[in-house]
Amino acid sequence: MKAELISIGDELLIGQVINTNVSYLSRKLGEIGIAVGQITTVGDEPKAIAKTFKRAWKEHDIVIVTGGLGPTHDDISKASVAKFFKKPLVLHPATLRAVKERFKKFGYAKMPESNVGQAMVPKGFTVLRNQAGTAPGLLFFERKKAFVILPGVPREMQWITEDSLLNLLKKKFAAKSRGVIQHRTLITTGIGESSLAELLGPVESILEEDSTLAFLPNVPLLRLRISANGKTGREVINKIARIEKSIRAIAGKYIIGVDDDTLEGIVSKLLSDSKKTLSLAESCTGGMLASKITALPGASKIFLGGVVSYDNSVKIGLLGVPEGVIEKFGAVSEEAALAMAMGIREETKSDYAISITGIAGPTGGSQDKPVGTVWIAITDDSGSQAFHYQFGGDRQLIRERASIAALELLRKKLLGSL
């Protein structure tokens, strides 16, 4: 049994919005044994939408549409579906009451008249409540197939999917599903895609029946996704566990996390578990590393603060970098990085301190210090160390790679392997 995901919206085609809905839906459908056979994105053009609906409905058992359910003129999914199935739009009183109550809850004296349209549904469609927003989801069964419309706002789409849609699809298609499809992602660092593939050798010796292994590079980390399906969840879990064990036996030293783990999350947990604190002195990364750390809940327990010392005067005045160090070695140097790290640690009294100084480009490089030159220093009670890097890529990628490299140094330090 196959499903097609259709995303509607010009904003997706022009790259204004990143489409995270399809990855979420693919994963959730897989968990109930429904494989996604195709993913399509189409703009806000009625003829193109109708053509896409016709093809998808013919080729797949389940069609799930996201986007185009708002109250404005360019939200045309519902009207397009009603026209495609030749169903009139009728008022759904319970939905209208829910929409009015939501506006009242957020302090509106009166609901905008345009939002009445969100309570109009194609006749014969099942309404899927949406307590995360105003536009309900819609579900229609015909000829042993299902057509679904969901809001494009991720949190609303996810709420409806988990509240009702998955259960309804599971009950309807239990006999036709592939059983259970699950995935396990191993996050690695310190090794490239080709090197890791060579290290693992022929995947046939690792995999089992109805399982696959995919390499998902996302610089500077590399993910290995194990996928497997079987009749029961327990069968699939055990199969994936055996494959993971084989991979770890070969490449375990490169694996730093699993599934949705992030390097900053791993480091933050290590700091929290050891009851240690961190401070940062950033230059070329402009606070990117601090942003990664503080984006996590509980950051206040481990992160004391940081300084974005972009100008040399700030390095000298706030971090205590000797003026002579910058004059003799430059702001991008081992000596400056060490002084920055020791300066912020002295200022904050943190257990660990990290500094990053470099040339992110596209200008500012020289023959001795080309664009991408970065020095990262780390200091604690045991002493201070500085590391030189030469990163490639554009300005944003150099900054991202520097931030990740700093986190990896701290991870190794916390594990006693630096």
Question: Which CATH number covers residue 316?
Answer: 3.90.950.20
* Same domain flag for 358 and 285: yes
Number of domains in the chain: 3
* pLDDT at site 70: 58
* Same domain flag for 282 and 400: yes
pLDDT tens track of the chain, all 418 residues?
Answer: 789 999 998 999 998 888 999 999 998 998 888 889 999 999 989 999 999 999 999 999 999 999 877 555 556 888 899 999 999 999 999 888 888 888 888 888 888 887 888 888 999 999 999 988 888 999 999 988 999 999 999 999 999 999 999 999 988 887 665 667 788 999 998 888 999 999 999 999 999 999 999 998 876 678 999 999 888 888 999 999 999 999 999 999 999 999 989 999 999 999 999 999 999 999 999 999 999 999 999 999 999 999 999 999 999 999 999 999 999 999 999 999 999 999 999 999 999 999 999 999 999 999 999 999 999 999 999 999 999 999 999 999 999 999 999 999 999 999 998 8
* pLDDT at site 102: 83
* Same domain flag for 304 and 327: yes
* Same domain flag for 26 and 99: yes
Task: Report CA torsion sign: 204, 207, 208, 213.
Answer: negative
Q: Which structural domain, as residue segments, surrounds residue 300?
A: 263-415
* pLDDT at site 179: 67
* Same domain flag for 242 and 291: no
* pLDDT at site 306: 97
CA distances to 152, 203, 208, 214 from 197, rounded to whole Å, are: 37, 9, 17, 10
Select from 258, 291, 307 the last residue of a domain: 258
For residues 390, 396, 400, 406, the Cα torsion angle rounded to the nearest 10 degrees is: 50
Select from 213, 238, 258 the last residue of a domain: 258
Q: List 308's β-bridge partners, or say none.
A: 282
CB 66 within 8 A of CB 159: no
Which CATH number do you get for residue 186? 3.30.70.2860
* Same domain flag for 295 and 372: yes
* Same domain flag for 101 and 232: no
Tokens 């990896």 sit on residue: 408
* Same domain flag for 297 and 312: yes
Q: How far apart are CA 65 and CA 70, in angstroms?
A: 13
Select from 258, 287, 318 the last residue of a domain: 258
* Same domain flag for 220 and 309: no
* Same domain flag for 221 and 267: no
DSSP class of residue 119 equals G
Q: List 127's β-bridge partners, or say none.
A: 138
Which CATH number do you get for residue 116? 3.40.980.10
* Same domain flag for 286 and 373: yes
* Same domain flag for 389 and 347: yes
